[in-house]
Amino acid sequence: MRQWTTALGALFRVSLESFTGEYRFQIEFPQAAGMIIQEMIGSHGGDGDVDVYCEDDRVVRRMTYRYYSDNGMFRLNIPNDVSGIPEARVNKIGLACVSRGPHGGAPLRLRILPRGEDEREIVDRSLALGTWGSTSTRLYGWF
């Protein structure tokens, strides 16, 4: 199954297919999307770690966000205690929504959602705008 990576303005949605065992849960972004997220982080992620506001439980957690040249992707490593991660790890479905953080707070915001109709709407809008593309393993787009 191919993964879906999309963005709504500065809202990125990434499918949650994980093979990281008991390690931190990883989501990957194609290079173009990853560079936009890197811009949102700005100077707040100097050492590769960044504060992320987890919307569901209203907790700011330190996460690692880096570029990996082995596959040309950016990865966000999410602690296993984030709401929705245990279910995503077991079921290997759902969406991670990454957007700009709250004003004056963490630079990024994260919400884990179960897979739903949201996905089709985002794909359709990206296709209509001609912003749909792919890597060797993922489909992605934004609008």
Residue 84 has a pLDDT of 86
Distance in angstroms (rounded) separating the CA atoms of residues 143 and 29? 16
For 75-125, the pLDDT digits (tens) are 999 998 999 888 888 877 767 788 899 999 999 999 887 766 566 676 677
| Statement: residue 28 has pLDDT above 50 | yes
Q: Of the CATH numbers 3.40.50.300, 2.40.330.10, 1.10.10.10, 3.40.1280.10, which one belongs to the domain with range 3-133?
A: 2.40.330.10
Average pLDDT, the chain: 77
Sign (positive or negative) of CA dihedral 117, 119, 123, 128: positive
Q: Which of 24-28, 57-61, 91-95 has the highest mean pLDDT?
A: 57-61
Give percent of the chain with pLDDT exceeding 90.
24
State the DSSP code for 102: P
Quickly state the pLDDT bin for 72 (edges 50, 70, 90): confident
CA–CA separation, 7 vs 18, rounded Å? 20
Domain positions in the chain are: 3-133
The pTM for the full model equals 0.76
